[in-house]
């Protein structure tokens, strides 16, 4: 069923693209820029100088000297189609292939008497990341309805590979928050002078999908063929552009998560349990004087964390829940800065080539605070230091390399990695 659903989504996207292309060709003489095609993609190689055993946090001493391991990956390959209908109406759609997409095959097994077997050939996801219709009334007021990016934190609004220095998206935010976070809902947004605002109404999260390692990070992707909306949530974001080269923003999320599941419990003992998720975030970007600096600070709180932890641990084995303890509070912060060493070289600057040397620091803890009787998993907290380069031969293509070390609390082993990547982002038309 999972693969059938992915195929249907893909066929839908192809059909949509064909229809839009035909419409764009018909209207080229009137409005040449009506159709927009674009996308982004990443190819990565990483060598991890630590154990890949699933038991490395249970018995860290036993895995201290395990061999390193390497992986090739296609984290995200995204195709974008947008169309301007005129009179303020436009649409946008994005389909994303994560980690190469998914594949399955049917084989006849000679070893098992000629039985037919379905096997997974490749693990990954095919996701419709955006699909919305928008009406622009004026610069200060736009209405967007459909499947929309949730602009909480830095990375969800800046997730293109040319918008961060590291090979992978910033680890703290992509761990504790959904990334890229996209939901079906309604958005109002606009810009007034040096201020931009956005408010959204979206479905609430499902507390059964919370976990110790990623908090709410896996809870926006529904394992079902629909998104549960027994509860709702609100999102707000404000950005300021008053200072040349600087953008500063704050964002917030508020919503209830308990009973927002496919088989909720309405027992009397859970009547007052809401599972309220509150997130507050500050982030910024500075881009001037051949320097790029970016940073964020996220803090999240979950009410009734102890009750939800116990409830989830008692769910049946076939439930999609991880059935682990959940923190009441989480934190993540990150700061990176890079300098373009090509900027003083006139010939390279005229060719628009850029070569950034960067450093980055991150700290996050998905078990920052826990209720009494809930074990604080110390391995969920880590500080990470990065050093690397970003080379832009042209504006839309970047070649990345970095070395990083994650420092964990005793008795857990530190985790170092060497990562290489190439990526692009831009419009084709």
At 103 the pLDDT is 67
Distances (CA, A) of 176 to 50, 211, 218, 228: 22, 9, 8, 21
User: CA 204, CA 225: separation in Å to the nearest integer?
Assistant: 16
Closest CA to 411 of 67, 48, 53, 57: 57
At 105 the pLDDT is 61
User: CA 338, CA 277: separation in Å to the nearest integer?
Assistant: 34
* Number of neighbouring beta carbons within 10 Å of residue 357: 14
- List, for the chain, all residue ranges whose pLDDT scores fall below the cut of 50: 1-32, 110-112
Residue 421, Cβ density class (10 Å: 0-12 exposed, 13-18 middle, ≥19 buried): buried
Q: Is 54 helix (H, G, I), strand (E, B) or coil?
A: coil
Helical spans, DSSP H, in 34-103: none
Closest CA to 34 of 20, 17, 50: 20
Closest CA to 200 of 188, 190, 184: 188
At 399 the pLDDT is 98
At 104 the pLDDT is 64
Closest CA to 403 of 390, 422, 416, 392: 416
Q: Sketch out the chain's domains with CATH numbers.
A: 2-103+130-424 (2.40.160.10)
Cβ pair 417, 68 in contact under 8 A: no
Closest CA to 301 of 235, 362, 370: 370
Residue 150, Cβ density class (10 Å: 0-12 exposed, 13-18 middle, ≥19 buried): buried
Model confidence over 300-333: pLDDT tens digits? 999 999 999 999 999 998 888 999 999 999 999 9
Cβ pair 176, 218 in contact under 8 A: no
User: CA 403, CA 387: separation in Å to the nearest integer?
Assistant: 6
At 3 the pLDDT is 40
At 30 the pLDDT is 42
Residue 106, Cβ density class (10 Å: 0-12 exposed, 13-18 middle, ≥19 buried): exposed
Helical spans, DSSP H, in 27-153: none
Residue 65, Cβ density class (10 Å: 0-12 exposed, 13-18 middle, ≥19 buried): exposed
């Amino acid at each position: 069923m999972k693969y059938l659903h992915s195929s249907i989504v893909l066929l839908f996207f192809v059909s949509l693209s064909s229809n839009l292309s035909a419409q764009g060709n018909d209207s080229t003489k009137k409005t040449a820029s009506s159709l927009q095609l674009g996308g982004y993609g990443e190819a990565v190689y990483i060598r991890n100088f630590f154990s890949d055993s699933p038991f490395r946090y249970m018995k860290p001493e036993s895995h201290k000297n395990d061999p390193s391991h390497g992986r090739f990956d296609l984290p995200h390959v995204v195709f974008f189609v947008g169309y301007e209908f005129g009179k303020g109406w436009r649409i946008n759609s994005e389909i994303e292939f994560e980690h190469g997409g998914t594949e399955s095959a049917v084989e006849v097994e000679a070893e098992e008497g000629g039985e037919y077997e379905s096997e997974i050939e490749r693990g990954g996801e095919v996701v419709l990341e955006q699909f919305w219709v928008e009406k622009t009334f004026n610069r200060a007021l736009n209405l967007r309805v459909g499947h929309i990016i949730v602009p909480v934190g830095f990375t969800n609004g800046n997730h293109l590979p040319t918008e961060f220095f590291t090979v992978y998206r910033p680890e703290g935010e992509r761990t504790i928050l959904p990334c890229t976070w996209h939901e079906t809902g309604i958005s109002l947004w606009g810009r007034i002078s040096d201020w931009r605002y956005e408010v959204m109404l979206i479905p609430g999260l499902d507390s059964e999908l919370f976990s110790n390692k990623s908090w709410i990070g896996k809870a926006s992707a529904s394992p079902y063929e629909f998104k549960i909306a027994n509860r709702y949530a609100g999102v707000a974001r404000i950005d300021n552009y008053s200072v040349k080269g600087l953008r500063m923003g704050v964002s917030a999320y508020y919503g209830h998560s308990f009973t927002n599941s496919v088989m909720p419990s309405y027992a009397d003992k859970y009547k007052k349990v809401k599972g309220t998720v509150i997130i507050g975030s500050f982030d910024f970007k500075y881009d001037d004087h051949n320097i790029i600096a970016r940073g964020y600070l996220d803090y999240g709180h979950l009410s009734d964390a102890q009750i939800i932890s116990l409830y989830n641990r008692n769910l049946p084995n076939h439930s999609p829940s991880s059935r682990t303890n959940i923190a009441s509070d989480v934190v993540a912060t990150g700061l990176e800065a890079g300098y373009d060493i090509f900027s003083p070289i006139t010939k390279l600057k005229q060719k628009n080539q850029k070569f950034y040397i960067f450093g980055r620091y991150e700290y996050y803890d998905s078990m920052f605070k826990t209720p009494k009787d809930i074990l604080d998993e110390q391995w969920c907290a880590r500080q990470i230091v990065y050093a690397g380069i970003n080379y832009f031969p042209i504006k839309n293509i970047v070649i990345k390399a970095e070395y990083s070390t994650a420092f964990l609390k005793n008795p857990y082993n530190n985790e170092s990695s060497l990562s290489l990547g190439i990526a692009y982002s831009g419009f084709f038309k």
